[in-house]
Structure 1
Amino acid sequence: MLGSAALVRTGWSHAFRRAHVVRRLNATVAAPPVEPKHHRAWLFVSGIYPIRLGFLDLRHYLAIAQQDNLLQNLHSILNSVSTNAFSTVKLVPSPKYGGVFIQFECDDASEQGLADIRSAITDEASKNGGLHTWISFLSVHNGEVWPVRGEPWLEDLYRYVSPFVKVEFEGPDVHEEDLYALMRPFGRIHDISAPVPVPAGNLRSSTVAFVGLRSAAAAHSCLHGLNFKSSDSRMTRLKTTFEPARKANWFRDWVVNHPRISLPAAVFLVGTLSYAIFDPIRTLVIQWKMLGRFNFKELSLVKWILSNTVDRFAFRGSAAKPVEPVKAWTDREHSENTLRSYLADYPSTVTFVSGPVGSGKTSLMHQVVKESNRKAMVIDCSDLFKGGSDSSLLSSLARQTGYWPLFTMANQVGGLVDLAAVGLIGQKTGYNATLEQQVRDMLQVVASGLQGVASAHTTDVKRQEERQRRRIAHEEHRAELLERVERGAFHDGRIDCVAGNGVMSELGLGDEPVSEKDYDAKPPAPTVVNDEQGRMDQDVKFLPATQQDRLSNVPENIKALPVIIIKNFAARDVQRAEILDAIAEWTRTLVDNQIAHVVVLSDNRENSKRLAKAMPNRPLTSVALSDADADSAVTFVTTSLSKNGGNMTLTKDQISNVQLLGGRASDLQTLIHKMKSGQGVEDAVNDIISRGVSELRKNAFGDDLEDAKSLLWTREQAWAVVKKLAEKPDLSYFDTLLEFPFKGDETALRAMEHAELIAIHAHEGRPSSIRPGRPVYKVVFQRLVGDSIFQATQELAFNEKAIASAEKTVHTCEAELQTLRELSNESYMSRAAKHRAKYLSSKMQEAQTKIEALEGKNVGLKKVISHGR
Structure 2
Amino acid sequence: MTQALHDWRFRSSGALNFDATPLILITGFTSQNKDRRPGFFDGTVSWAAYVSEAKLARVVFVADSSFGEPSILSHLKDRPERLSVFQLQDVSEESVRRILERRLTPDKLDLSDAHLKAIGGRYMDIAALLGHMRHGVAADEAVRWLLETAEVTVRRLLLTGQPEAKWTRPQLWRAVRHLTEGTGLAVPYDVILWNVFRGDEGALRSMKESNLIAVNPRKSENSWTLRYEVEAGSPLYAEVFRRLVQNEGLAAVLDLEVAKEDVAREQKSMDAYEAELVKIEEILDARRDWWWIRPSTDEQLEKRRTQLVDLIMEQHKKLEKYHKARRKAMSILGHHADRFHERAKRKKS
Task: Compute the TM-score of the two structures, normalised by the length of structure 2.
Answer: 0.74
Counterpart secondary structure, 2:25:
strand
Unaligned ranges ≥5, structure 2: 220-224, 288-294, 341-349
Q: 1:812 aligns with which of 263, 272, 293?
A: 272
Alpha-carbon distance in structure 2 between the residues aligned to 1:712 and 1:611: 17
Q: Is the 8 A contact 2:189 2:230 kept in 1?
A: yes
Q: Is the 8 A contact 2:157 2:169 kept in 1?
A: no
TM superposition shift of 1:663: 0.0
- Letter aligned with residue 731 of structure 1: V
2:45 is matched with 580
Counterpart secondary structure, 2:167:
coil
Alpha-carbon distance in structure 1 between the residues aligned to 2:142 and 2:282: 70
1:839 is matched with 310
1:116 is matched with none
Q: Does 1:689 align with 2:147?
A: yes
- Letter aligned with residue 191 of structure 2: D
- Letter aligned with residue 796 of structure 1: L
Q: Is the 8 A contact 1:762 1:769 kept in 2?
A: yes
The structure that is helix-richer by fraction is 2
Q: Label 1:760 to 1:797 Cα distance change in 2 as closer, same or farther (>3 A).
A: same
- Letter aligned with residue 3 of structure 2: V
Q: Label 1:814 to 1:454 Cα distance change in 2 as closer, same or farther (>3 A).
A: same
Deviations 1:189-212 (A, max 9, x none): xxxxxxxxxxxxxxxxxxxxxxxx
Q: Does 1:674 align with 2:132?
A: yes
- Letter aligned with residue 770 of structure 1: V
2:333 is matched with 862
Deviations 1:347-369 (A, max 9, x none): xxxxxxxxxxxxxxxxxxxxxxx
1:724 is matched with 178
Q: 1:744 aligns with which of 199, 207, 215?
A: 199
Counterpart secondary structure, 1:712:
coil
Unaligned ranges ≥5, structure 1: 1-442, 459-554
Alpha-carbon distance in structure 1 between the residues aligned to 2:74 and 2:217: 18
1:505 is matched with none
TM superposition shift of 1:692: 0.7
Counterpart secondary structure, 1:743:
coil
Alpha-carbon distance in structure 1 between the residues aligned to 2:278 and 2:83: 59
Counterpart secondary structure, 1:564:
strand
2:343 is matched with none
Q: 1:599 aligns with which of 41, 49, 60?
A: 60
Q: 2:244 aligns with which of 784, 799, 802?
A: 784
2:345 is matched with none
- Rg (Cα) greater in structure: 1
Q: Label 1:453 to 1:640 Cα distance change in 2 as closer, same or farther (>3 A).
A: farther
- Letter aligned with residue 641 of structure 1: L
TM superposition shift of 1:809: 2.5
Counterpart secondary structure, 1:866:
helix
Q: Label 1:840 to 1:805 Cα distance change in 2 as closer, same or farther (>3 A).
A: same
Q: Does 1:661 align with 2:128?
A: no
Q: Label 1:666 to 1:834 Cα distance change in 2 as closer, same or farther (>3 A).
A: closer
TM superposition shift of 1:803: 1.7
Q: Is the 8 A contact 2:122 2:234 kept in 1?
A: yes
Q: Label 1:843 to 1:820 Cα distance change in 2 as closer, same or farther (>3 A).
A: farther
Deviations 1:400-422 (A, max 9, x none): xxxxxxxxxxxxxxxxxxxxxxx
Q: Percent identity?
A: 22
- Letter aligned with residue 681 of structure 1: A
TM superposition shift of 1:855: 4.0
Alpha-carbon distance in structure 1 between the residues aligned to 2:310 and 2:276: 11
2:222 is matched with none
Counterpart secondary structure, 2:190:
helix
Q: Is the 8 A contact 2:46 2:75 kept in 1?
A: no
Q: Label 1:576 to 1:865 Cα distance change in 2 as closer, same or farther (>3 A).
A: farther
Count of residue correspondences: 314
Q: Is the 8 A contact 2:48 2:59 kept in 1?
A: no
Alpha-carbon distance in structure 2 between the residues aligned to 1:788 and 1:655: 26
Q: Is the 8 A contact 1:585 1:614 kept in 2?
A: no
- Letter aligned with residue 238 of structure 2: K
TM superposition shift of 1:609: 6.9
TM superposition shift of 1:811: 1.2
Deviations 1:708-747 (A, max 9, x none): 66543221111111122223332222222222x5222222
Q: Does 1:770 align with 2:328?
A: no
Deviations 1:560-596 (A, max 9, x none): 875411234988899965752442121233xx35xx5
Alpha-carbon distance in structure 2 between the residues aligned to 1:559 and 1:852: 65
1:638 is matched with 101
TM superposition shift of 1:770: 1.3
TM superposition shift of 1:618: 8.3
Greater shift after overlay, 743-752 or 616-625?
616-625
Deviations 1:615-671 (A, max 9, x none): 9898766543111122211221122215xxxx56856x6233122210011111221
TM superposition shift of 1:856: 2.2
Alpha-carbon distance in structure 2 between the residues aligned to 1:660 and 1:631: 14
Counterpart secondary structure, 1:756:
coil
Written as runs of structure 1 = structure 2, the 5 A alignment for 1:472-491 is none
Task: Compute the TM-score of the two structures, normalised by the length of structure 1.
Answer: 0.32
- Letter aligned with residue 738 of structure 1: W
CA RMSD for the aligned pairs?
4.0
